[in-house]
Amino acid sequence: MRYPGVDNGPASWSAAVELCVQAAHNGIAHAVLTPHFRGKPYAERIARLSSRLIRLREALTDRGLAMEVALAGECRFDSFLHQAIQSGDLPWLGRWDDDYVVLIEFSDTRLPAKIVPAIEWMRARRIRPMLAHPERIREVQAMPDVLAPLVASGLLLQVDADALAGGRGPYAQGAARALLQRGWVGVLASNAHDLVRQPPRIEPGRIAAAEIVGEALSWELVAHRPARIAAMHFPALAQA
């Protein structure tokens, strides 16, 4: 989910609150906000966004909405990510077993060069990179198996639930289905930006997943695994 007035998120605080209201109506009780981190050092941006997180929590309380929100980030695979890993200034998505999880993104055209050694370098530091919306990448749409060596190296995949349900077009849907059929999808997420184009909608994607992998695994993708990852931010989830 995106921040108000940041990147391509809601344009105002009121719109952000309405986005959370719709998310709650769609069964989402916990949301990890993932604004973009790219092209600049991370520490200052984390500090600025942390103050916005406090304001958003206050706005949700004023609205009487019992939704919990936390800060992470969607980190572009660039030199600033490398610097942040070395300095420890990372907006962690959560934990995967004993590793910390960082949500990363590639360009929408092709995979970065030398990405497998980079994944292995992160894994050696107890970091599990999770790739956001791989189904958008045109190289993946044309040949899903291009991700095989990355997944084998430990890359996790976060697919947009709406893409799996067809809301992002036939090419993204085809890639999402192919990745799910291969057993490579770690979680399904809403990637909500607004109320219209990218709403906080999970259930259509879960239903689409259930048709491919069954009911039990579909719930694992949208509820149980995300809860385990996000329990770092929401301790109550660790006890659920």
Distance, C-alpha 206 to centroid of its chain: 16
Residue 95: CATH number of its domain? 3.20.20.140
104 bridge partner residues: 75, 131
List the one residue out of 71, 95, 73, 59 whose CA is nearest residue 237. 95
**Residue 63 included in any domain:** no
Q: What is the per-residue pLDDT across 1-51, written as a single tens digit (0 to 9) for each?
A: 555 555 556 667 888 888 888 888 888 899 999 999 998 899 999 999 999
Instruction: Enumerate residues 6+ apart whose C-beta is below 8 A from 44.
Output: none
List the one residue out of 225, 223, 197 whose CA is nearest residue 8. 197
**Residue 105 included in any domain:** yes
What are 6's two structure tokens?
């940041």
Domain of 99, in residue numbers: 75-238
Distance, C-alpha 123 to centroid of its chain: 19
Question: What pLDDT does 73 receive?
Answer: 95
Question: What pLDDT does 13 receive?
Answer: 80
Cβ–Cβ under 8 Å, residues 164 and 176? yes
How confident is the prediction for the chain on average, in pLDDT?
A: 92
Helix (H, G, I), strand (E, B) or coil at 11: coil
pTM over 0.85: yes
**Residue 98 included in any domain:** yes
List the one residue out of 38, 70, 31 whose CA is nearest residue 54. 70
CA dihedral for 17, 23, 28, 33, sign (positive or negative): negative
Domain count, the chain: 1
Confidence class for position 66, pLDDT limits 50, 70, 90: confident
**Residue 170 included in any domain:** yes
Q: How far is CA 118 from CA 27, 85, 87, 132, in A?
A: 36, 12, 16, 16
**Residue 30 included in any domain:** no
Q: How far is CA 170 from CA 107, 140, 141, 163, in A?
A: 19, 13, 10, 9
Instruction: Enumerate residues 6+ apart whose C-beta is below 8 A from 109.
Output: 137, 138, 139
- One-letter amino acid of 111: L
**Residue 8 included in any domain:** no
**Residue 40 included in any domain:** no
